[in-house]
Amino acid sequence: MIRNKFLLIILLLWSLCPFFWQVYTSFCSSESILSPLLNIDNRWTLQNYIQLFTSEPPFWRYLLNSTIVGTTSTVLTLIIALPASYALTRINKVFATGFKLFFFIAALFPYVLLFLSLLEIARALNIGNNLFALSLPYASLSLPLAILLLSAAFNDLPKDLEEAAKIEGLGLFQRLRWILIPLIAPATASTSIIIFLFSWNEYPIALTWISKPELITLPVAIARIAGSSVYSVPYGAYAAATVLGSLPLIIIVLLFQKQIIAGLTQGAVKG
């Protein structure tokens, strides 16, 4: 037991080491950024964070933009994926298998090959430089995986429960709203996190759809951080930006960790 705990602590430290190194680097001055960790000449500074929040536009604007895009795309995906995944578990098994195979292939398809086509669509519809419009391709790309995950959760629910609700006179939308969707809340939470993470970290589409500096998302903003000269690399500013960009995700995971774990393990054991 002690050995297992020791190995678990080592694995935890190994996993958190990159994040701790980024935090350490974000507080280092430019002169000491490459010096040894325990060098007594290291000069600690808040300049990297001050630089981010005193820039124009300030860094918090990029965090807000990514939050808007991530939240909107997650909501749009769930609005479509929840009823679609329920329908997938109630149709003929042959058709359901065919749809699942299609969604599986769509989920594995490299979306980067589509971003030029999506750019042409955005240009034709004149929906560039719009955060809510940017959520549309994110929701579309997340939809196949979301339907697969949620359909597995719906499939684990006992059919007798829905039959009892029908006897009580509940309609389809009432059964979904009051019984079925609340029962798969853990799976919905874990799926929402996956969708939000994809929208939060996506780069190529955000780079091509948004050109206004005040509307760019976090990954694009980090990529545009420049040094004081052509050949200087602002390691400290990059580190500070990645730390600030990681904090909202860490908070979300900590707040919903029980739902995420329950959703990932749902259906693993059947009595």
**In this structure, what CATH number is given to the domain that contains residue 104?**
1.10.3720.10
Please report whether residue 11 resides in a domain: no
Q: 233-262, pLDDT tens digit by residue?
A: 788 888 999 999 988 888 888 887 777 676
In contact, 59 and 66? CB cutoff 8 Å: no
pLDDT at position 231 is 54
Q: What is the mean pLDDT of the segment spanning 100-114?
A: 90
Please report whether residue 244 resides in a domain: yes
Helix (H, G, I), strand (E, B) or coil at 107: helix
> Average pLDDT of the chain?
85
Please report whether residue 1 resides in a domain: no
Please report whether residue 252 resides in a domain: yes
Select the more confidently predicted residue: 19 or 231: 19
Helix axes 2-26, 235-255, angle to 10 degrees: 140
Please report whether residue 227 resides in a domain: yes
Confidence of residue 226 (pLDDT cuts 50, 70, 90): low
Domain of residue 214 covers 57-265
Per-residue burial over 227-249, b if 16 or more Cβ lie within 10 Å, else e, is eeeeeeebbbbbbbbbbbbeebe
Please report whether residue 27 resides in a domain: no
Please report whether residue 118 resides in a domain: yes
Confidence of residue 269 (pLDDT cuts 50, 70, 90): very low
Percentages of the chain per state (helix, strand, coil), in multiples of 5: 75, 0, 25
Q: What is the mean pLDDT of the segment spanning 172-182?
A: 88
Q: What is the mean pLDDT of the segment spanning 69-73?
A: 95
Least confident of 9-18, 121-130, 184-193, 261-270: 261-270
pLDDT at position 105 is 92
In contact, 38 and 57? CB cutoff 8 Å: no
Could you give the number of structural domains in the chain?
1
Whether the per-residue pLDDT at 77 is higher than 70: the answer is yes
Please report whether residue 188 resides in a domain: yes
pLDDT at position 1 is 67
pLDDT at position 264 is 60
Q: What is the mean pLDDT of the segment spanning 27-38?
A: 69
In contact, 195 and 142? CB cutoff 8 Å: yes
pLDDT at position 163 is 85
pLDDT at position 271 is 43
